[in-house]
Structures are given as structure tokens and as C-alpha cells.
Structure 1
């Protein structure tokens, strides 16, 4: 009855960062479909130039598709545009944290101090944005 209560918990989580998802092989058919979706979303973004809310959602979709394709740089650009249109916690925020961390790790492996600083600075800016969102939510 209480056996599972006292079992040792598995401390390693099975989490996958966006860049690791992109490293998985996808079929040429899936790649073509995703690239078609990128083109479609890009057209929709251009058409929604005056509607920040719609553009924000489209940039989120574009970032997610770019992650699936393994295009981290394009995903970062899309998610940053999403947050620029509307600062909020959500898909873009979480994905950017993961993408920035993956980029920082790559820079660390390459021992590139300038790139490490770039990604740490971007992470800091994102955390500053989260503080603004929190404060605005509480009426400060």
C-alpha cells in the first residue's frame, strides 16, 4: 500500500531542449511540409502587419516550426519578434530560455567567450522582461 511512497525517486528528468528536438532526423516529406508551413506563416505575418496580437501568435507558430526543422537561429528570431510584439510568459519565453541556454552551451564547448557573453546577456534581458511582466500584472 505504501510501497511507492518510500521508493527512491528518479532525479533525472527526461527533458528535451528545442535544439535537441531539431537534431532528430525527420523525413524529407516532413521537412518539405514544414518548409511549406514556414512559407505560409511568413505570408500571414506580412498580411497581419497592423495586428500585433495576431502577429505575435504567428511568430510563435513560426518559431515552433523552425525548432522542428532544427533552425535554431531562425526560431530565435521568430520568438524574439513574438516577444517584441507582446511581452508575456508563454511558448516564446520558454522556448527562448531553452534556445539561449543551448546556444550558450555550444559557445562554451567552443570556448568562445564573446558568444557566451552574448547568450548570457540575451538571457538576462529575457529575465528582465519577465520582471516587467510580473510587475505590470500586479499594478506596480
Structure 2
């Protein structure tokens, strides 16, 4: 249904450019959730195509976008309640400056001027 809606709205070239891909789907007791991957820069087209889906296998559906994330992991943690382990926030030395980082086990997401950078403990010390 998603590919059909994208093809009808965006055409074959536009649909291919957007690269919509259903990564996961779960349905139970009349409710469901899905993760849809889309190419960077094509979020607006993807949202429009998703809004055009009115049925799946002949059954009417209503779809709502909960949010947009830069990674599948962040999407699952933020919008689907699939947090993996605990995280803390602390200041670290990174790139000759003190910066804020989100720490999960041995992984660090360090905030820089241009966004977050993935790092390990050896990058911080």
C-alpha cells in the first residue's frame, strides 16, 4: 500500500528518489506501528505519500506520523518505547573543548556545533 501510494503521488522516478522502505510493522487489537525509512531530503514527499495510504489489504486504515528521527535506533527509542539500556548526560573533553555528551555503556554521542558525533571512550580520554 505504501509503494502504491508513493508511486501514484510522486510517480515512479519520484518514488524511487524518496526510497521509502518499510523496515518494521506490528499490528494487534486494531492498532499498529511501523518504521518507514526514507532518503535524506525526501521527508516531505514521504509524509505526503504516507498520508495517501487509506487502506491495507482492502481494510480501511488511518495513519499518523508520530515523529521523524535521524536513525532507526533513535526512532524506536523515542517514538516506539524501545529504549535499549539507560543513558546519562555528562560533560566530556572532545576535540580540544569541553562538550556535552549522552553516554550509553561505552558509546558517546557528543554534541558539537554541527550536531552529534558518535565517539568511544578512547576518543574522549
Normalized against structure 1, the TM-score is what? Answer: 0.25
Bigger proportion of residues as strand: 2
Q: Bigger relative contact order, structure 1 or 2, given CA contacts below 8 A and separation 6+?
A: 1
TM normalised by structure 2 equals: 0.27
Q: Which has the higher helix share?
A: 1
